[in-house]
Structure 1
Amino acid sequence: MLNTSGLRAPDDNAGPSGLPLHYSLDNPNLGTPELITKVLKGVWKEFSEWKEEQARSLLRALRPPAKPTLHPVKPVPRALLPSTRISTTERHEFLVLDYSDDTTSSHEPWALHSEPVIVAPRAFDTLSSYESFTPTDRSVYVGDDSGDMPYVRYIDDPTFDATEDLDWYHNFAWMHLRDPDLELLVIEAARRLHVDHGLSYEHLQETGIFPFPLLAKGPTPGLLEENIKRDLTPFPRVGLDHEYPSTDFSTIFETLVITFCPFINCITPNCSVHSHPENLPLRVAPYAADAPPRTACGPACHQLFVAAEPVSWEPDVYNLLRTVLEVSPDAEPCDLAVVCLKPCNEVAQLASVIIKKLPAHKVPLPSRAAATPEFQDHILSSFVPNTPCRHTGHCTAANKCPCAYNGAHCSRVCRCPPKCERRWRGCNCTPDEDGLACCVSRSGNGKPNSRRNQACPCRQAARECDPDVCTGCASRDHTLGCCQNSQIQHGARKKTVLQKSQWGTGVFAAERMVPGDLICEYVGELIHPETTQSRSVLTIHRRCNYLFDLNPEFAVDAVHAGNESRFINHCEHDNVAAHIKLVNGEPRLGIYANRAIKPGDELLIDYGPDFAFYGAGNDTKDNGAGQESWMSSFTDPADDDTQDWTPSK
């Protein structure tokens, strides 16, 4: 709704948001608060007058247009009117007349013939009710749902307990939205103070008078940067042609490093899975000199000759090189030359000068060896992964190592040395006569043989093979198809199709499957226990549950995002089972075949005794999931000491 009265000018003792002005007079370098307040009030007054007239003009534009002049149309002869009689045997004929703009017929009528089309009632099956979801191939971290309510759900359904649902919310979703008019006022006032009065944007932000930060604070962009790519309100007095400060490369690069997820499952900034940002690595002295020599990158390579004269670069390129070296001081000059678009020998000369000024040092390790570490990460039902460690010394509780506190193995993401005593050692499996390693062997009746399953220490610990240390089974190279215990991380899933089953939509095999084959990963939103409770109101009302417990801190809920695994129906006579595995330090849930499956067979899973609560009735035998699958919390089969492929009951 338009505010035709414009914006109210602020009081003398209030800022543009109606709040008292907060500023400090202790710093003489700050801009004058009285000047900032005066400019803000001036912009506010100008904008209020313009907004009022703009609103009037928009309202005038909503007036209906004048009625058009209608020309009389000659009546159609009765003989040419269509007949209301319908015959299933006669051939129908009707006349067509063309009229020109002056309402007179320009041609003689001509006849068209048509055959009757009879549409039988219920010729098409009615579409069953369904719910939409966002397809995804990886789980998405959500944590806790927002406490801001976007709307009242199922407000027209008297069977829904809206009161219980509303108890989980604290605010309305729109209460935190910024007023775009107020943003425009702040931008224009900051521009005038900078251009007309010579105050820097940094000083303006330090006064604390503006209701929004002008410049970026860490990874959060400021108001000026946010509005560079935005169409602002066409306030004629705003300086849209003014160049606002952009974030320098050093800040952007540091933000990318902080938000970069180094987990081998992700290797991307701002990944959708992990909730915690990774800190910058510990500064270490460059050790590139110890690396084996590389082939010269070109005629100007630093390995061939050194630049004769001192190097002088543009400030932007110099800052780029310094920023990269601060994070990766051991980077090769050949690689840095590509990044900086400079000759390799010049890069090497300038890099040697920059590295000497960096406060880098080797982190010494204590000479005394640590005690034999203890681990608890093989009990996946109770294990919650911790943030990677980044401390000095051995990975012990005395050194405040989070991995030691949690009973977890250190991973490649941790900042400890590769030979840390808490690192997972991997397996020594080698391919058998069939060219397979770390696999589940099958006995004569097609059932998995648990004894050979125990041979692989990774399988025994409910882990997928680590591509860094499990070298004998070639788990790093998925194209070889050798390692049979790295299916989730390689996406080695089986082909399936969605189609109608006797219980609604179901998942069917599109190829042959044998016990131990990964069919797909069960993915969805990673949520905390409190959110599982808040969503239970809707779960019970919809009578559809897509929840799998992953560990005490997280559950996977596929109600809003997921893949085909959410459609697997329930049956006590199952042919697939769910298994939680630690994949490169991350617990993930795979759906595996537990018996031989032929193409065309429906995939069925036993969701456990709680399944009846969500709508299958007291008798769960051969009952499916209705229109879509209903899932209940599932006991982790990895807790079973036998580690076989029998589904949890």
Structure 2
Amino acid sequence: MDVDDSLSDQLDEQPEELDFAQKRVYAEDVYRGVYTEFFAWEQEECRRTIISLRTTNPKMLLSPRVSTSYRPSQVTPVEGAEKFYFDDLVDDSNSFQASCITIEAARWSPCPRYFSCTPISQSTQRDVVQDYMLPFVPYADDPVFNVFDYLENFSKFAWQEEFNDPDMEEIQNEAVRRLIFSPHKFTLQDVDDLGFFSLARITNSSGLLWDTTQRDPLIWPGAQFSNLDRLPTKWVVDTPDIFAVISKDINTFCPNLNCLHTFCSLHAGKADVPYVISDEASGAYQFTPIEPAKATETNESMKLSQVEPCGALCFKLQEFDSRENNLLESSPWSNPDDITMLEGILKLTPDTVPCDLALICRKPCFEVFIYRSRLLPDEKIQENISYNSPSPSEIVLPEFVSTSVLGFTPQFSPLSPCQHKGPCHEASGCHCYKEAHYCSRNCRCSLDCPIRWKGCKCGMRKKSSGHCETEKCPCRAAARECDPELCVKCDARGRHKKKKCLNNDIQKGRFQPIKITKGAYGNGAYAQCALAKGVIIGEYVGELISKESTSMAAFDVLYDHLGLNYIFDLDMAYVLDSAIFGNETRYLNHSEDANCCATVVNVNGVHRIVLVTTTSVAIAEELFLNYGDSYWTKDSPTES
């Protein structure tokens, strides 16, 4: 009888109460049994799988319709051509003589040397693990490569790092399952207290139970043919706290307009959205959580407001004496979830009138007012109002840093969004104000913050097919693309079909097609249509790497060996490397008389490199960049 059958037979029996020591002994026996059972099956399964890959010895099978007789070639032999003999291996008695036929083939040029890359449409953040952990040694068999100088920049290899053994995960998962559904009914906390299993559940997206669901389940008899129930793979906290629910999801959601999806690696920790490590056990990178909003409307001012009563039970029609404003005796709510829901809503919109809150909470208006007064007493609200900080009208605007000039790298890097108490000012510790940066859409300051970027108000022009095409547009003049949320007049969102904003090509992906073929040096990029001056031909994308990264020295060794590099300066803090990830813009060759240049544009708070024509370019003309003096290594490159 196996372990599952014995456990199933005991399910209806009264379990014996075990102390911790007895639970530990019982769990060790179950763990050991699953371990032995698994590897006994795995050994036989591996042997069977390997045998199934074996092939039989090949045999020569000749069709009876195939003739083995020699048939002379119809091609006329060249005089003086070399002759050779060949034997019929089927019948050793046959031997034939033939002349070598020489045919002159047309000459063809070999394909220029090039290095492939993974195509991407948007830059990606380089994993910080690669700064100290090396997955493999490149060019290990090349005696010219300076391998030791390259290895000095890393502390260890990737295979030296501990990893989660999928076999052990399967064994532990099955052992936990048998403990949970055993007659002794272990809890997940009991399993964690044992100390020899991985933590069963750390959060709703980490722990042993979660990890085993992130790969295909292993089909083996001990787990698949068991009569026990399956362990729950999902864990969602059923809470009425709407603030907690939103905070859980917002921690993994990238709010940058260039992304708007979860688990973004590009903006985490830099550019426009900071990250925090909120869970040391799982090491999960999460975006900055939202802070509860501060109430500025007192309960007394709500009573005196000019809002029309919502009905007979409206708070404005009720009389509240000082004792009832202690607010528990007047109208108690028996269900604590009702209070939790109201508290969560007030953390998001604390100044919402009780009339609206009553509809959301499905409670009488005056009762909602009573509990709001309890959760947000006027004394606490007065503290928020009387915070000693200058009003927005009193703030002296700083001299903002310049953004970019065509063809030059900006002398600043976008900051992470500010998050502080009070208006953006030096007194509040706002780093946007201190560094003379405009606040971005993801800053947690007020929407009417005086140092927020205001966008443009370019309207429709009758004599043009679009707008925002000249330096008269403040966004274009500041080397910024129009913001679809701010630049409403120019229709940056693209709602209208007739006339469109001409300063959002990067966001819309409106680039000119180019062809990659043999160029002046190796492969090159060619225009597939006539291009005017100032046309964006594409965005230079790659891996985003900090200039302070320790792997930059490793790149120097590697690119010295190759005689080329794909690194572009993005700003004062970051570079873009298109060696591993990139697109067709990496193939533009160098020329002192270049017809294109690279410029950095601020797109929704993130710097992005685009290649722009500096002169008119004819169709099928090769596109060139001036790499600059800092590009050249000891050996001249053979490919852009």
**AA at the equivalent of 2:594:** D
Partner of 2:543: 525
Which is further off, 590-599 or 176-185? 176-185
Q: 1:461 to 1:252 in 2, by over 3 A?
A: same
Question: How far apart are the structure 2 equivalents of 1:381 and 1:134?
Answer: 28
Q: Is the 8 A contact 2:517 2:524 kept in 1?
A: yes
1:191 pairs with 147, 171, 177, which one?
177
Q: Is the 8 A contact 1:325 1:331 kept in 2?
A: no
Q: 1:146 to 1:367 in 2, by over 3 A?
A: closer
Deviation at 1:151, TM superposition (A): 2.2
Q: SS of the residue aligned with 1:268?
A: coil
Which structure is richer in relative contact order (CA contacts within 8 A, separation 6 or more)? 2
**AA at the equivalent of 2:414:** P
Which is further off, 419-428 or 236-245? 236-245
Q: Is the 8 A contact 1:376 1:407 kept in 2?
A: yes
Deviation at 1:268, TM superposition (A): 1.7
CA offsets 1:105-141 (integer angstroms, 9 cap, x no match): xxxxxxxxxxxx9976467654443322111111111
Partner of 1:265: 258
Q: SS of the residue aligned with 1:609?
A: coil
1:149 aligns with 2:134: yes
Deviation at 1:179, TM superposition (A): 1.9
Partner of 1:300: none
**AA at the equivalent of 1:507:** A
Q: 1:59 to 1:262 in 2, by over 3 A?
A: closer
Question: How far apart are the structure 1 equivalents of 2:436 and 2:62?
Answer: 92
Q: SS of the residue aligned with 2:362?
A: helix
1:284 pairs with 290, 293, 298, which one?
293
Matches within 5 A, 1:605-624: 605-613=625-633, 615-616=635-636
Please report the RMSD computed on the Cα atoms of aligned residues, expressed in angstroms.
4.5
1:543 pairs with 555, 563, 574, which one?
563
Matches within 5 A, 1:27-106: 33-35=20-22, 37-54=24-41, 56-58=43-45, 60-61=47-48, 62=50, 80-83=67-70, 85-88=72-75
CA offsets 1:216-260 (integer angstroms, 9 cap, x no match): 437x52210221353136261686742325120668864431121
Q: Is the 8 A contact 2:596 2:625 kept in 1?
A: yes
Question: How far apart are the structure 1 equivalents of 2:60 and 2:262?
Answer: 69
CA offsets 1:469-516 (integer angstroms, 9 cap, x no match): 334433333755543333222322222222222322222112232222
TM-score of the two chains, using structure 2 as the length reference: 0.69
Q: Is the 8 A contact 2:426 2:434 kept in 1?
A: yes
Q: 1:471 to 1:36 in 2, by over 3 A?
A: same
Count matched residues.
Answer: 519
Partner of 1:312: none
**AA at the equivalent of 2:477:** Q
**AA at the equivalent of 2:118:** T
1:419 pairs with 448, 452, 455, which one?
448
Q: 1:568 to 1:59 in 2, by over 3 A?
A: closer
2:362 pairs with 327, 341, 349, which one?
349
1:434 aligns with 2:464: yes
**AA at the equivalent of 1:166:** L
1:201 aligns with 2:231: no
Question: How far apart are the structure 2 equivalents of 1:503 and 1:244?
Answer: 60
Matches within 5 A, 1:102-501: 121=105, 125-142=109-126, 144=128, 145-174=130-159, 175-196=161-182, 197-205=184-192, 207=193, 209-210=195-196, 212-217=198-203, 220-228=205-213, 230-232=216-218, 234=220, 236=222, 241-248=229-236, 254-275=247-268, 276-277=274-275, 278-284=287-293, 349=362, 364=385, 366=389, 368=391, 369-376=394-401, 378=403, 381-432=410-461, 433-440=463-470, 453=471, 455-477=472-494, 479=497, 482-501=500-519
Q: SS of the residue aligned with 2:594?
A: coil
**AA at the equivalent of 2:626:** D
Q: SS of the residue aligned with 2:630?
A: helix
Gaps of 5+ in 2: 1-17, 78-100, 239-243, 269-273, 276-286, 297-309, 314-335
Gaps of 5+ in 1: 1-30, 91-116, 288-302, 307-314, 337-344, 441-452, 617-624, 630-649
Question: How far apart are the structure 1 equivalents of 2:608 and 2:429?
Answer: 27
Q: 1:329 to 1:603 in 2, by over 3 A?
A: same
TM-score of the two chains, using structure 1 as the length reference: 0.68
Q: 1:605 to 1:82 in 2, by over 3 A?
A: farther
**AA at the equivalent of 1:49:** T
Q: 1:405 to 1:601 in 2, by over 3 A?
A: same
**AA at the equivalent of 2:554:** S
Percent of pairs with identical residues: 26
Q: 1:407 to 1:126 in 2, by over 3 A?
A: same
Which is further off, 131-140 or 186-195? 186-195
Question: How far apart are the structure 2 equivalents of 1:468 and 1:192?
Answer: 55
